[in-house]
Amino acid sequence: MIEHPAFPVDQWCLRELELHDDLLAQTESLFALSNGHIGWRANLDEGEPHALPGSYLNGVHEIRPLPYAEAGYGYPESGETVINVTNGKVIRLLVDDEPLDLRYGTTVSHERVLDFRAGVLRRALHWVSPAGQAVKVTSTRMVSFTQRSIAAVCYEVEAMGGPTRIVVQSELIANEELPRQNSDPRSAAVMKHPLNAMTHSHQGTRVNMVHRVAHSGLGVAAAMEHMVVSPEGITPVAESSPHLGRVTLATVLRPGQRLRLIKFVAYGWSSRRSVPALRDQVDAALTAAALTGWEGLLDEQRAFLDNFWRDADVEFDGDAEVQQAVRFGLFHVLQAGARGERRAIPAKGLTGPGYDGHAFWDSEMYVLPVLTYTLPDAVAHALCWRHDTLPLALERAEQLGLRGAAFPWRTITGAECSGYWPAGTAAFHLNAAIAAAVTRYVSATGDEDFAEKAGIDLLVQTARLWRSLGHHDNEGAFRIDGVTGPDEYSALADNNVYTNLMAKRNLLAAYEYVHRFPRRAQELAVGDEEAASWRDAALAVVVPYDDKLGVHSQAEGFTNHQEWNFSATPRENYPLMLHYPYFDIYRKQVVKQADLVMAIMQCAEEFTDEQKARDFVYYERITVRDSSLSSCVQAVVAADVGQLDLANDYLAEAALMDLADLEHNTADGMHIASLAGGWIALVAGFGGMRHNGDTVSFAPRLPPGSSRLTFSVRLASGRLRVIVHPGKARYQFQGSDHIRFLHYGQPVTVNSGQDVEMSTPALPARARATQPPGRDPRSRRGDAWKD
């Protein structure tokens, strides 16, 4: 969409100048609103036309059967799928008895704006009915960051011709008809009408509905309240039924007169609370929202976002499209996690049903790093959700014959939902990602209370998993065999470098925490011998290296595999997993997403500069990026090894993943991890930021064509602002005392209120790495983004 003339570049908003039917599904995702608890896809106010209606509550799901051609021990018996809950967005309009439907009549103008600073979706429409009656409609929609259970709409209608009879119907709709998303008829049947009515009521302009999800048993409540401003007195009519609540308003507007309807919608859900308690919960939320009022909600939203952008904004001069895309991405990352509060951050956020609404490892490895330095409270909640699911992870490990905790590859509640175990269960690196998120958060915030409670629990149980999963060979080396690393085009590999190095960090962190919190270590029954075994395993972990080629082998023996025949692979046959059997892919040198390269990014201290450069070039030529998670990692390491043009291209790919619909599935929801990757590519790539233990370091550099990069990071000691220009970097600190960090390895101390400038060395010139034929990123050089 970024290249479509209907979407001009605007650095602080996403603007659509006209509606295009063929882009409805994508724009419903792009313009979606969420606060991490409630998610509303950007369906039109009138409900139709639409591609995929979507109203979501984080954690609300249905249980569905998982089909297997052949059953096996340890296979999950059922899956979890996010469901479309009660839709409170719909406000239908009839103009002289004709429904406002953009498929009929004449649309004179239609504009939508997603405002990143105000946190609202605005819409302006000039429509002429088939009978020739003209109206202007404006609406502003929000999902509140400050009142977690509340979403709201301000809907205004203005008559443009003669006296116009106006009827407005504000609705709550349960069990909407949806396009079929699953080819399995058993699952489709389960998902068709997942909400069973429990109670409904209406009084005045308030409607309340409570449902229970058929198989998961979750209770879901939704309620709406209204405020009306009209030149003539209006008597609203409310009604309710098991799956529909409606408030109807009717009036006659003279030319220039307006009807204004403010609609507050409240949501709540629980696996435990009773139906009356859920009903009362949403009633109370509505009362609080009405007390605040529409203008009050807008003011709260703006103040919340002012604070967020003060810490989170990244300014990147030289590429207006990327600047817009990075802010767009940060806004969606915020929406995905701000008010999740002990719930997961799904891969698609709450913008669509993609991946069944599941959370994966990319939450901890892509999304939480951004939030750690911009909105750390959200990280604590996300990690507390992992801690809440620890009993299920302990049970899963026991089922697999392992000690400690085996967290699920994909899940909503904490139960494993992956039926394909080579890419699911065997991808144990997820557990190290959780451990890394714990240590990063604690180091950045100084939250010792979290560290002593949830943090040490997660570290100890994941360390126990690694110690039981791996073994010492006859020479004393610690091996972790038969696992799947981030690259899902290789499965059941021995000693995957990324997995082993992340496990090493996990084991050493657990060793450090049990000595830091001896009372908790005693409660967890960690003795000196067990802790010492973690340290011994970490220091002896195997890191495969191919001496002949002079590069690290992604996993043991990987560089001996036959190379994939890229020259014989048509461009339309990507992604490979949709056109070739996994058996063939698994035994060839072809990489779905940067795996060894991610090890370089996450564990930079384990590689020399020369090894980084050689490894990067080697794996670039076999990495096809069939995953949206790859480009930001490649951007970071390309910048690290001095390939700044290439890093810039990968930055754009990560940041524009959904605005350009590069994976052709934005219709199913946003790629939250890739959107987080825009920030990562700038801050960790061109900012050169690394955070290892208690050491924060920077190695800033700019790509050709860029004159400035500015970003801030929140740390326990305060806020550090980094301003990068060609050849120099300036550091500004606001905090209680001072901050210490490394600049290109040199210790730097900046006192609060001080401004320190450092020179940046020129990087050695290196030849640009090459990619498989047809898989190179689109270049940012020149005036247009071209193939």
| Burial group, residue 209, by CB count within 10 angstroms (0-12, 13-18, 19+) | buried
Sheet holding 33-34, edge to edge: 33-34, 38-40, 55-57
Catalytic residue among 176, 225, 488, 606: 488
Q: What is the DSSP letter of 664?
A: S
Task: Give the whole-angstrom CA distance, residue 395 versus residue 427.
Answer: 17
Report the DSSP beta bridge partners of residue 203. Answer: 206
- Are 539 and 641 in contact, with CB atoms under 8 Å apart? no
Contacts of 137 (CB under 8 A, 6+ apart): 45, 93, 100, 123, 124, 125, 127, 155, 156, 157, 158
Phi-psi region of 106 (alpha: psi -120 to 50; beta: other; left: phi over 0): beta
Q: How far, in Å, are 356, 500, 627 from residue 595 at the CA level?
A: 25, 12, 11
Largest CA distance in the chain: 91
Task: Give the whole-angstrom CA distance, residue 348 versus residue 126.
Answer: 33
Q: Which long-range contacts link 301-305 to residues 24+ away (Cβ below 8 Å)?
A: 301/118, 301/119, 301/120, 301/142, 301/144, 301/145, 301/146, 302/117, 302/118, 302/119, 304/119, 304/145, 304/146, 305/116, 305/117, 305/118, 305/119, 305/145
Q: What are phi and psi of 58, to 5 degrees?
A: -60, 120
- Are 121 and 43 in contact, with CB atoms under 8 Å apart? no
- Are 19 and 110 in contact, with CB atoms under 8 Å apart? yes
Contacts of 382 (CB under 8 A, 6+ apart): 337, 340, 343, 344, 345, 363, 364, 368, 371, 437
Active site residue 488: yes
Q: What are phi and psi of 516, to 5 degrees?
A: -75, -30
Q: Residue 519: enclosing H or E segment and its boundaries?
A: helix 518-523
Per DSSP bridges, beta strands 588-589 and 562-563 are: parallel
**Beta carbons within 10 angstroms of residue 608's beta carbon:** 8
First-to-last alpha carbon distance for the chain, in angstroms, is: 15
Task: Give the whole-angstrom CA distance, residue 48 versus residue 557.
Answer: 55
Q: What are phi and psi of 42, to 5 degrees?
A: -85, 55
Nearest to 409 by CA among 401, 398, 419: 419
Cα atoms in the 13 Å half-sphere on the side-chain side of 123:
25
Please report which residue ranges of 70-193 form alpha helices under DSSP H. Answer: 185-192
At 770, which amino acid appears?
Answer: T
Q: What is the DSSP letter of 288?
A: H
**Beta carbons within 10 angstroms of residue 583's beta carbon:** 8
Q: Which amino acids are annotated catalytic?
A: 488
